[in-house]
Amino acid sequence: MLIDSHCHLHDREFFSEEQAEKCLERAHEAEVEKIICIGTSHEDSLAASEFASEHKNIYWTYGIHPENADRELSKLQFGEFRSAAARGLAPSARGDGPDGRDPEWSIDNSLVAIGEVGLDYHYEGYDREAQIQLFEQMLQLAVDNDLPVSFHVREAFEDFFPVVANFPNVRGVVHSFTDSKKVLKRILDTTEFYVGVNGLATYSTLPLPPLERIVLETDAPFLTPVPFRGIINEPAYIREIAEWLADKIGLEFKTIEKETTKNARKLFRI
């Protein structure tokens, strides 16, 4: 069994309902049995929730991408996140309700993480303070509800490490790592975070983490792996990424399949 730990199959900007269903069929044929749909805004997260509710072995995350920091902060204050995510956030640490659960929230077992959230300083005009504030709020949401985090970090690791250091109990995965060997070493040495490996690795010279810290992802519809460059990415291509990784590090495919699936299951509890 393979797991696509990060995709956007629910996003109708990229996949029609019919296309998404066909993608699920091909994923099943490729033995990709579990898929996590990643939220990038409040509305997008709820679309991911809806998609997950309609399909077996599809999971979702609640998150606000750093590129949405300005808009989302003006719309949703931290105290409102709880009601905003009422469709499915995990049991609250407060435990005021029956069985130790928060009575204001409905519980949805298909919600497996907060993300994708983080910092992105790639494009000009970004608001550093707004991004950090939103990131801290999302991290607090994850800690309060014992959920892992899907981190989006681009050209911002100097701020990323000090921020996450203030949340020592947070666990998660650095999605689509695109930085240096030095930064990767710092992730591996100073955190217990996993690192997402996707199609980008098949056509770049990015450093690879050790197998025990890898989870596989497609980021579909983006970052289509070799040999499918030039067409839209989809969860079935996790198999191509796993086969490339097996060849790259000199291990059998079954070993890659077993270990990366174990890592994803441990992190996301699926």
Q: How deeply is 113 buried, as exposed, middle or buried, from its count of CB atoms within 10 A (0-12, 13-18, 19+)?
A: buried
Which residue reads 């999971």 in tokens? 59
User: Which domain does 123 fall in, by range?
Assistant: 2-268
Question: Among 184, 142, 130, which residue's Cα sits nearest to residue 167?
Answer: 142
CA distance linking residue 88 with residue 203, whole number of Å: 37
CA distance linking residue 174 with residue 74, whole number of Å: 27
Average pLDDT, the chain: 89
Question: Among 215, 90, 245, 93, which residue's Cα sits nearest to residue 151?
Answer: 215
Q: Which residue has the higher pLDDT, 101 or 155?
A: 155
Q: How deeply is 265 buried, as exposed, middle or buried, from its count of CB atoms within 10 A (0-12, 13-18, 19+)?
A: middle
What radius of gyration do the chain's Cα atoms show? Answer: 18
Question: Among 59, 65, 102, 93, which residue's Cα sits nearest to residue 268?
Answer: 59
pTM: 0.90
In this prediction, what percent of the chain has a pLDDT beyond 90? 81
Count helices and strands (H / E) in the chain: 9, 8
Query: What angle, 0 to 180 degrees and rounded to 10, lies between the N-to-C axes of helices 181-190 and 157-165?
Result: 0
- CATH number of the domain that 55 lies in? 3.20.20.140
Instruction: Retrieve residue 248's tokens.
Output: 């790259």
Q: Is residue 36 within 8 Å of 61, Cβ to Cβ?
A: yes
As for how many domains the chain has, the answer is 1
Among the residue ranges 82-91, 216-225, 257-266, the one predicted with the least confidence is: 82-91
Confidence of residue 70 (pLDDT cuts 50, 70, 90): confident
pLDDT tens digits, 103-149: 444 446 799 999 999 999 999 989 999 999 999 999 999 998 899 99
CA distance linking residue 196 with residue 217, whole number of Å: 6
Say if residue 102's pLDDT is above 60.
Answer: no
Q: Which helix (H) or strand (E) holds 266?
A: helix 253-268
CA distance linking residue 224 with residue 201, whole number of Å: 10
pLDDT tens digits, 190-207: 999 999 999 999 999 999
